[in-house]
Amino acid sequence: MARTATTSDAFNAVAEPRRREIIDLLAGGERAVNGIVAALGLAQPQVSKHLRVLREVGLVAVRDEGRQRLYRLEGRSLKPIHDWVKAHERAWEARFGALDEVLDNLGR
Amino acid sequence: MARTATTSDAFNAVAEPRRREIIDLLAGGERAVNGIVAALGLAQPQVSKHLRVLREVGLVAVRDEGRQRLYRLEGRSLKPIHDWVKAHERAWEARFGALDEVLDNLGR
DNA sequence: TTGCCATATGCCGATATCGGTATATGTTGC
DNA sequence: GCAACATATACCGATATCGGCATATGGCAA
């Protein structure tokens, strides 16, 4: 058993920085593979592989147009991540920190 | 070059489901290692290893008390993930979806 | 058909992972 | 000091990864 496959869920797919860059780029609108290659300065096969992973977890969708393949962001698949992280939001919001509680008590 | 180390950032650390479970558990308050082992039904060495990873990216902090080591959530380190995902929030909010725009236009 | 462009896949080497088992380190109490 | 407990680390085998390079697939145009 090794690490969980990157294609197993959005959490794993998004752990890779380049894939996050691709998502950031696609947030601006549909792009052909070559467009991504040019914009991010990555090698074409690498981009295709990353797109495959993103496709398998539903983070992007494809549309054929002539000899190009236009990829677009399918943001819904980011929601599980958002929900999980948000569930812990209070953990970093100062007002709920242990220190602040102490300070609040002192100032009361 | 292989996959990025799990200790490189919170994104990678959190890609592992068991580590997310540990975080979920610690959200309820400080716990000793054995407490985590008991609560999650994992092997003790595995838990220690996961905690090491979480510590290295700053997601948890430790406090020694006698022969126990009490771990607590350090939620601040989740913020980068939250911020990144949130930046793409509109991508899954229906109001901004392409289909909904079409429907809005039809109903107008 | 032939050739060019756009993209996908295959194979490689190197590496970090993850679970399991055994063992080391450190603490408390007798 | 010694035993019991709590936790960390070491080593192992299996595996999926990631980048690089070569090559296959598919569309289009002359």
d(CA B73, CA A89): 12
Would the CB atoms of A73 and B87 count as touching at under 8 Å?
no
Quick one: pLDDT band at residue B108, thresholds 50, 70, 90? very low
CA angle B76, B82, B84 (to 5 degrees): 125
Quick one: pLDDT band at residue B4, thresholds 50, 70, 90? confident
In the sheet with A60-65, reading across from the earlier edge strand, the strands are A31-32, A68-73, A60-65
Q: Percent of chain A, pLDDT > 90?
A: 75
pLDDT of residue A4: 87
pLDDT of residue A21: 97
Mean pLDDT, chain A, rounded, equals 88
pLDDT of residue B99: 54
pLDDT of residue A8: 84
> Hunting for tokens 């809005």 — which residue is that?
B104
* Optimal mutation site among A25, A88, A89, A99, interface B, most CBs of chain B within 10 A: A88
What mean pLDDT do residues A4-33 have?
Answer: 94
What mean pLDDT do residues B13-37 have?
Answer: 96
What mean pLDDT do residues A8-22 have?
Answer: 96
Which tokens hold the place of B70?
A: 């009490």
List residue ranges whose Cβ is under 7 angstroms from nucleic strand C.
A 1-4, 32-35, 37, 44-45, 47-49, 51-52, 62, 67-69; B 1-3, 5-7, 15-16, 18, 42-43, 45-46, 49-50, 53, 64, 66-67
B95 touches chain A (CB under 8 A): no
A55-89 as b/e: b if 16+ CB within 10 A: bebebbeeeeeeeeebbbbbbebbbebbebbeebe
B16 touches chain A (CB under 8 A): yes
Q: Is the overall model pTM greater than 0.75, yes or no?
A: yes
CA-nearest of A11, A6, A23 to A84 is A11
pLDDT tens by residue, B46-70: 999 999 999 999 999 999 999 999 9
Q: Which of A16, A74, A78 sits opposite B4 (nearest CB)?
A: A16
Which tokens hold the place of A44?
A: 């074409």
Quick one: pLDDT band at residue A63, thresholds 50, 70, 90? very high
Q: Which of B14, B78, B89 sits opposite A91 (nearest CB)?
A: B78
What mean pLDDT do residues A102-107 have?
Answer: 51
Quick one: pLDDT band at residue A108, thresholds 50, 70, 90? very low
